[in-house]
Amino acid sequence: MIQFEQVNKQYPNGYHALKNINAVIEQGEFVAIIGLSGAGKSTLLRCINRMHHITDGSLKVNDVEISELRGRQIRRLRRNIGMIFQSFNLVTRMSVIKNVLVAFVPEMPWWRKLLGIFTKEEKKQALMALDRVGILDKAFVRVDQLSGGQQQRVALARTLAQNPSIILADEPVASLDPVTAHQVMNDFKNINEQLNMTILINIHHVDLALAYASRVIGIRAGEIVFDGTAEEVNEQI
């Protein structure tokens, strides 16, 4: 569960990016956050995994007040929260499976990653994650030989292998063509339904948000201006 109570976020330059945010997101919800560029969507997501720190209010993840977390506890929080970006953030010169492997055991000693020493169980988990997003056949291909949609699926598999309870996705389909964007949204939906992971996805395509997410939160100039089901949005339009 993610609980925002009167959350405000001001950047060091004084810009007030989030204003009195109140929302409760239950485990297993699939939420789309919509709003124009600059509305505060990305800031909102980044507060949840402590990439940003809130200025005041309360923000709890699974009943833990995350403002109070320090070093080790923040790393534990982040292991439980997968983050997906528009730009995939993959090592393009490495194979697909290696991208998944180096990410999903964050506490692995650096020399094991460097030497590429992974256990059988780790390899099995990585392959299962690739299978779930339909790119098992690309496991040993270099990432730079894949299309944008396939690369986003590698990013998704990498996050899945980490077995988080929450996935935050910041404009994951913004750079994809419409057909591929639908496929990737469908992957998110399947993962949400089959694995009961909470998914929060920033998206500026309202039609995609309505087609796949069960709940839509609208943000404008740092404030929540709408929070309801996709059906409720459809009725109002």
* Between 12 and 72, CB nearer to ligand ADP: 12
| Residue 152 engages ligand ADP in binding (rule: CB under 6 A) | no
Quick one: which of 53, 75, 76, 124 contacts ligand ADP (CB under 6 A)?
53
CA distance 206 to 214: 13
Please report whether residue 52 would count as binding ligand ADP according to CB under 6 A. yes
Shortest distance in whole angstroms from residue 161 CB to ligand ADP: 26
Measured from the CB atom, the residue of 43 and 198 that comes closer to ligand ADP is 43
85 SS3 class:
strand
Q: Does residue 11 belong to the site contacting ligand ADP (CB under 6 A)?
A: yes
Both tokens assigned to 57? 């209010």
* Interaction between residue 183 and ligand ADP (CB under 6 A): no
* H-helix or E-strand spanning residue 121: helix 120-132
Considering beta carbons, is residue 94 or 206 the nearer one to ligand ADP? 206
Distance of closest approach, residue 223 Cβ to ligand ADP, in angstroms: 12
Specify burial of residue 121 (Cβ count, 10 A radius: 0-12, 13-18, 19+): exposed
Q: Is 17 in the site for ligand ADP (CB under 6 A)?
A: yes
Tell me the closest approach of the beta carbon of residue 13 to ligand ADP, in angstroms.
5
Query: What's the Cα-to-Cα distance from 145 to each of 141, 187, 216, rounded to whole Å?
Result: 7, 21, 35
Cβ-closest residue to ligand ADP? 42
Among 40, 82, 172, 218, binds ligand ADP (CB under 6 A): 40
What is the number of other CB atoms lying within 10 angstroms of the CB of residue 234? 10
How far is 68 from 85, CA to CA, in rounded Å?
26
| Alpha carbons within 13 A on the beta-carbon side of 58 | 8
CB hemisphere CA count around 100 (13 angstroms): 34
Nearer Cβ to ligand ADP, position 37 or 236? 37
Q: Taking contact as CB under 6 A, which single stretch among the options 12-20, 95-103, 121-129, 208-216 is the one that binds ligand ADP?
A: 12-20
Helix (H, G, I), strand (E, B) or coil at 120: helix
Binding site for ligand ADP (CB under 6 A): 11-13, 15, 17, 35, 37-43, 50, 52-53, 202
